[in-house]
Amino acid sequence: MNLQFLGAAGTVTGSRFLLDAGGKRILIDCGMFQGLKQLRLRNWRPFPVDPGSIDEVVLTHAHLDHSGYLPALVRDGFRGRIHCSAPTADLAAILLRDAGFLQEEDAHYARRKGFSKHDPPKPLYTVEDAERAIRRLQAVRGTTFEVGPVQGRLIPAGHILGACSVRLELKGRSVLFSGDLGREHDLLIPGPGRNPGADTIVMESTYGDRRHGPQDPLESLAEIIRRTVDRGGLVLVAAFAVGRAQAVMWAVHQLRQQGRIPEVPVYLNSPMADAVTHLYDDHVPWHRLSLDECHDLFRSARFVRSVEESKALNQKQEPMIVISASGMLTGGRVVHHLAAWAGDARNTILLPGYQAAGTRGAHLASGADQVKVHGRYIAVRAEVVKLDVLSAHADADELLAWLKSAEQPPAKVWLVHGEPEASDTLRLRIRDDLGIDAEVAEDRGETSI
């Protein structure tokens, strides 16, 4: 088997791994690059191999840094199936359609403003391209699938609804792609459980150099809400529409039930998060909530649907909790809220998720006192809190524990999906604490396994 790292090597986004095995060419994840401009520009380069030469794709989960390039891959000639879990197929359909729409909108905007390197401005892909990719999604029945002679298996990985690790085996040789690994005590999604083991493991390292801390996530959130409401402010939560938005909604719901926070209005202002929240009903075995609790989740916030309602919300300055996307403040309605509310020192901007370098969220988290929004600078006087205990990603100790839980240690671990420092710190711990050969994957690197 031959493995190539075509993305998420030395960075957290753009997951794409190409496996040639048994005469089949299999792409594991087909993500978009996000964050720093030089990374985003990579989305515009031709795919490193001819998309028509790829037989099948396997998707670990729906997040765009794992799925967001699929419409371009299909447009450029990929004709195979895209294997994934049933919830991932549903979520990816929502996310890819929205991504196509945003790409088209960005191109329109660039045309109006007259700045673009393309003449006329082109979207990276269209809604129609996204629809073509969506038609290729194939939910795996049960847990196993086949790509020619290669045996595939999906293993739930926590993180977000439907997220899985992917294990591929050919003639007794095996490779496991961890995908993004969740936390054992996540509020909504059960943890990854035991590592199924393989000869080679390709493993994420997002938080490879960090510990999330022992705080109780509910109490940490309660403290933030209480102190903000006490000073007459509002809490703006920038949450990924898939995953963190629902986790924060559920946490706020529980805190209210337990009387641990004051009764203030809660809004969910993200059409996508709205649609995703309703999917929890269809996939009860994949999360911790009962059907009744799913209904409680829907009722726990007021859903802001129209643009007019969203604009009206901006006029309010009173204690409330507003959950909105995108999670790294790179776009979406949360950016308008940021412009409206960041200047008021009574308010809090809460960042519960990972903030990739170069994003507005990362600037805020690093203490920036102004951020650029829609071409002008906004002063940041609000309190900014990054709350890693609510993260959907395992921390370094949890990553090591997962690796150690395999019955047989792997012969080799390749680290991907991390900033260089995070990946290298984890590499040293894997080598020194577990005695396993580990290497940080290099972009366009190749290895036979």
Q: How many residues lie near Zn ion (CB under 5 A)?
A: 2
Q: For residues 132-151, which are near Zn ion according to CB under 5 A?
A: none
Instruction: Output 303-311 pairs: Cβ under 8 A, ≥24 positions apart.
Output: 303/267, 303/268, 303/274, 304/267, 304/268, 304/269, 304/333, 305/271, 305/274, 310/269, 310/336, 311/336
Between 169 and 388, name the residue whose CB sits nearer to Zn ion.
388
Which stretch, 76-84, 131-139, 176-184, 382-390, contacts Zn ion (CB under 5 A)?
Answer: 176-184
Nearest-approach distance from CB 261 to Zn ion, in angstroms: 28
Task: State the DSSP H helix or E strand holding residue 170, giving kind and residue range, or none if neither.
Answer: strand 164-170
Instruction: Considering only CA atoms, give the Rg of the chain.
Output: 21
Closest distance of CB 318 from Zn ion, Å:
34
* Cα 410 to Cα 403: distance, rounded to the nearest angstrom: 9
Which CB, 86 or 394, lies closer to Zn ion? 394
Beta bridge partners of 309: none
248 to 307, contacts with Zn ion by CB under 5 A?
Answer: none
The residue at minimum Cβ distance from Zn ion is 63
Cis peptide before 300 (omega within 30 of 0): no
CA distances 422 to 82, 214, 361, 387, 418, Å, are: 30, 20, 19, 18, 6
Residue holding tokens 């294997």?
83
Residue 339 or 357 having the CB closest to Zn ion: 357
Residues 190 and 176 sit within 8 Å (Cβ to Cβ) = no
Nearer to Zn ion, 104 or 180 (CB): 180
Kindly tell me which residue out of 29, 169, 180, 398 binds Zn ion, with binding defined by CB under 5 A: 180
Nearer to Zn ion, 12 or 26 (CB): 12
- Interaction with Zn ion in 199-228: which residues (CB under 5 A)? none
Distance of CA 95 to the CA centre of its chain: 11
In whole angstroms, the minimum distance from the beta carbon of 159 to Zn ion comes to: 6
Comparison of 255 and 275: residue with beta carbon closer to Zn ion: 275
- Please identify, among the stretches 48-56, 174-182, 206-214, 219-227, the one whose residues bind Zn ion according to the rule CB under 5 A: 174-182
Minimum gap (Å) between residue 268 Cβ and Zn ion? 20
Report, in Å, the least distance between residue 440 CB and Zn ion.
Answer: 19
Element (H, E) at 37: helix 37-40
**To the nearest whole angstrom, how small is the minimum distance from the Cβ of residue 152 to Zn ion?**
20
CB of 61 to Zn ion, least distance (A): 6
63: left (phi over 0), alpha (psi -120 to 50) or beta: beta
User: In the bound complex, what is the minimum distance in angstroms from residue 311's beta carbon to Zn ion?
Assistant: 30
Q: Which is nearer to Zn ion, 180 or 398 (CB)?
A: 180
Q: How many CA atoms lie within 13 A of 126 on its CB side?
A: 8
Helix (H) or strand (E) holding 311: helix 307-314
Q: Taking the complex as a whole, how short is the minimal distance between the CB of residue 180 and Zn ion, in angstroms? A: 4
Stretch near Zn ion under the rule CB under 5 A, chosen from 103-111, 172-180, 299-307, 429-437: 172-180
Distance, in Å, from the CA atom of 160 to the CA atom of 183, rounded to the nearest integer, reads 10
Smaller CB distance to Zn ion: residue 63 or 429? 63
Rule CB under 5 A: which of 38-67 touch Zn ion? 63
Cβ distance to Zn ion smaller for residue 63 or 287: 63
Enumerate binding residues for Zn ion (CB under 5 A). 63, 180
